[in-house]
A and B are shown apart, each in its own frame.
Chain A
Amino acid sequence: MKLRRKVYMVAGYNTVSLGTGRSEFHPKKERPGIEHYLQEAGQAVLKQIGGSANVDEVVIGNFMSARFNKQAHLGAFAAIIDEGLRYKPSISVEGACGSGGLALTTGIRSVLAETADVVLAMGVEVQNTVKAIYGADILAGAGWFKNRKKGHAYFFPGEFSDRAGSYFDTYGRDYARKGMATWFKNAIENARLCETAQEHENKVGDLIQLGLSEPNGKVFTDYLNVFDCSKVSDGCSAIAIVSEEGLKRIGIPKSQAVEIASFAQVVDNLTEQPKDPVELTCTKVAAKQALTDAGITKDDLATVETHDCFTIAGILATEAIGFAERGKGAEFVAAGNTARDGIIPFNTTGGLVGWGHPTGATGVHQAVTLWEQLTGKAGDAQIKIPKEKPYGLSVNMGGNDKTVVSIVYKKV
């Protein structure tokens, strides 16, 4: 559906993605809690938009603070970000790892409904409170709990290992692994250019060799190694979603904002196993709808932020969005087409594999990255945005391709 009112995003902010890889991270040292992350990111946005008085509404995307932090009811944390947010509307939304995307669409809908002109949209997750083996239990909540018993100890790596296994069987193992290792290499190289990225300090020489490490099903999964996986991260991202009136109110020129050309939010049936394991069908539907509603094709895109919770998900996304034909995604990636100097740069600050994956924050992090790229604020990670391609696309996925939010952003 075409948007009936102009909607913009502006004034984004990302905290550091904290976890293994960051030199300030130590599993046994005390770390900031979820309150700190909300405050840091929220206050940074408020500072750019003239303070809390300009905010009509707050939306916080979060997946599992109820288990990671024994804390629910995040909406009511708004006032710790700023006293001025007390007595304003604020809610938290959840759609597994697509929670951040849902925070964005919820904010967009409020602006479209004309119940708000300025929405503070946030995403947050603090996951390093438990060891990865227990984190896997918590994250498994993104799947159908009735399938948990027969699932892998590392539930989601197991689910995507199955997809990778199917891809290997259908198109060839070495062929696929080459594409996946290239995806990993691009992710790390892009992360090195972004100061908040979890892999910012990564100094490994031969990334392809590392990416090709043999999976070991005895201790992890059969078809994925740990380098194929996104990170366990603590972090928060925030951005303002505003109408034209909102832009005027906060006093920021349009040129500093990105316009939302379209958005799609779709779900598949959580209780079903993927009918076609080598296709991200729900992603395909969402991306197609977003591009169609924006009235553009993939060729109008300057960059894409996709949900590479695993390298195989990155490969499958190139196919689902339409850049590569079915089965050709691995080749498309291995040939360098998704690198920052390729035909279509993907995940320019590292994505989930390189920047990090504070699950509930990821959708918002994607929006902040695209806002930075399209307004020339991406610093060392800045790519060239060709005049004839003023668009960016995001794909944020919850669970095993079950909730998908896809948004088209336009340089103003």
Chain B
Amino acid sequence: MENTERLQNVSVLGAAGKMGSGILLLTALELADLSLKPENKDKTFILNAIDVSDAGLSGLMKYLQGQFIKAAEKKTVQLRGMYENRDELIENYDIINQYVFDVMNIIRPTTKMEVAYNSTLVFEAIIENPDVKVKLLSQIDQNNHHKPWYFTNTSSIPITQLDSAANLGGRILGVHFYNPPAVQKLVEVIKGKETREDLNEFALGLIKSMRKKAVPSNDFAGFIGNGHFMRDALHGINEAKKLAKESSWVEGVYTINKVTQDYLVRPMGIFQLIDYVGVEVCSYIMSVMNPHVKDEDLHSDVLDQLIVQGVLGGQYSSGAQKDGILKYEKGRPVAVWDLDRKDYIYFTDFQDACDAKLGKMPSTFMPWKAVNFNRSKAAILETYFNDLNGMNSLGANIAKTYNSRSNEIGKKLVADSVAHSEADVNTVMLTGFFHAYGPINEYLK
């Protein structure tokens, strides 16, 4: 089957979800551009947006319309070329409207998963639960006589496991987008043991065409991104616990969050990142990964406790951060959840004392935002970390330990053959997590 033919009937499962909606958006633009090529003018392209929620699908269509308008406005120069022969489309306004219609016209929102029985490519972005995924994939495969290819957006379940359990015969590939897919450049690509090579090549072509960066990861629970993040998070939780012995949990969380964000020049502190992904999601990913790892226990009783207490983080559909381990005002953390008192304690009550204990930061410190997009990023980091190396304050020492653990995690991913190279580990953290520098670095000693 030709690639174009394969793309003529695509289904996205979980299309109204956070990841599904982004994947649908990217796929729709891809199909629209294909359909507008002169050689495809007589072909029909269908993109089924399948989700269990009617309300979700309705919201999805609104979201998509806004995104398609933006996409069209950005590429109007190209679009004028694509609609060159449509004499009635004269102004940019006409062309943008037509394009938005043409993209929307490809999409079929529905709650009936049976439409996927006619698809030649199925993109799965449903809940991160192996049993649910297997059930759905095998049901589609049993009823679909096209022998469709499957992409799964799982961030932690081994592909080989899904392949054999759903009996897909190597017609499945891990295509792990990062959140939000429309913005994040990184896509982890994971082949299972039996995954067909032509499927892998097809995916790489598609990802490139979507202007994303594919990084291959081996089929090992958690892959590269979560392989690093989950261990890094556990380290953060343990460090906070250590500090709690001499102060309190609340102060420990505040301190570690501050060190990971400021001292390590990251876009957000580790506890804010757990909230961003969602406390429950993190805990769940760990539980999916844990049976597959040896010599370590990827599990956190603190996360369990938080879930029981209903402290979940995650995001509102607007993208705003929900309260979790930290409480947020205008997107910024302002308080920490106290596990004993079961209430938030504001930073202002204890912040000064914690900051004093950490000690002064090097005068060469610049926040992540000022560093990451700076042309002299490497030089700035070099100078700053050099200064930090020379300090013996509590803050500097926590940062050094933290960085060396991050380094160790990165190297272990290569040693365990999850990543092909140290460079791939760094690329994932740089592009998928927006770190200013890779975990495998020589900055801190």
Contacts and interface: CB of A to CB of B under 8 A. Distances in A.
B93 interface: yes
A176 B286 CA distance: 61
Interface stretch (B60-68, B72-80, B333-341, B360-368): B72-80
A145 B90 CA distance: 9
B78 A133 contact: no
A133 B91 contact: no
A308 B73 CA distance: 26
B92 A133 contact: yes
Contacts of A134: 92-93
B77 A148 contact: no
A137 B96 CA distance: 12
The SS class assigned to the B binding surface is helix
Interface string A133-168: 110110010000100110011100000000000000
Interface residues of A, number: 16
A137 B91 contact: yes
A140 B80 CA distance: 15
B78 A218 contact: yes
A68 interface: no
Contacts of A133: 73, 76, 92, 96
A220 interface: yes
Contacts of B78: 218
B69 to A, nearest CB: 10
A218 B92 contact: no
Contact of A218 (B77, B80, B91): B77
A137 B75 CA distance: 15
Contacts of B80: 152-153
Interface in B400-434: none
A148 B92 CA distance: 10
Contact of B92 (A136, A217, A219, A220): A136
A219 B91 contact: no
Nearest to B75: A219
B73 to A, nearest CB: 5
B296 interface: no
Nearest to A216: B77
B329 interface: no
B92 A149 contact: no
Contacts of B90: 145, 148-149
B87 interface: yes
Nearest to B83: A149
Q: Which of A134, A136, A153, A217 has the most CB of B within 10 A?
A: A153
Contacts of B77: 152-154, 217-220
Contacts of B93: 134, 137
B96 A140 contact: no
B68 to A, nearest CB: 14
A217 B87 CA distance: 23
A131 B77 CA distance: 15
Contact of B91 (A148, A154, A217): A148
Interface residues of B, number: 14
Contacts of B75: 219
Interface string B79-95: 11000000100111100
B91 A140 contact: yes
Q: Which of A131, A149, A219 has the most CB of B within 10 A?
A: A149
Interface in A145-195: 145, 148-149, 152-154
Contacts of B73: 131, 133
Contacts of A131: 73
A153 B87 contact: no
Given A133-B96, A134-B92, A136-B92, A149 B76 contact: no
Q: Which of B74, B76, B79, B92 has the most CB of A within 10 A?
A: B92
B320 to A, nearest CB: 17
Nearest to B76: A153
A133 B76 CA distance: 8
A155 to B, nearest CB: 9
Interface in A203-253: 217-220
A152 B80 CA distance: 8
A134 B92 CA distance: 6
B295 to A, nearest CB: 51
A201 to B, nearest CB: 19
Contacts of A137: 91-93
Q: Which of B73, B75, B76, B87 has the most CB of A within 10 A?
A: B76
Contacts of A217: 77
Contacts of B76: 133, 153
Nearest to B81: A153
Interface in A98-155: 131, 133-134, 136-137, 140, 145, 148-149, 152-154
A220 B78 CA distance: 10
Contacts of A145: 90
Contacts of A220: 77
Contacts of A218: 77-78
Nearest to B88: A149
Nearest to A130: B93
Contacts of B92: 133-134, 136-137, 153
B3 to A, nearest CB: 24
Nearest to B80: A153
A316 B78 CA distance: 29
Contacts of A136: 92
B154 to A, nearest CB: 35
B114 to A, nearest CB: 41
Interface string B91-109: 1110010000000000000
Contacts of A148: 90-91
Nearest to A220: B77
A319 B428 CA distance: 55
Interface of A: 131, 133-134, 136-137, 140, 145, 148-149, 152-154, 217-220
Given A137-B91, A218-B78, 20 more contacts: A131-B73, A133-B73, A133-B76, A133-B92, A133-B96, A136-B92, A137-B92, A137-B93, A148-B91, A152-B77, A153-B76, A153-B79, A153-B80, A153-B92, A154-B77, A217-B77, A218-B77, A219-B74, A219-B75, A219-B77
22 contacts: A133-B76, A133-B92, A133-B96, A134-B92, A134-B93, A136-B92, A137-B91, A137-B92, A137-B93, A145-B90, A148-B90, A148-B91, A149-B87, A149-B90, A152-B77, A153-B76, A153-B77, A217-B77, A218-B77, A218-B78, A219-B77, A220-B77
Those 9 A-B pairs whose CB atoms lie nearest each other, nearest first: A137-B91, A153-B76, A153-B77, A133-B73, A149-B90, A137-B92, A153-B80, A148-B90, A133-B92
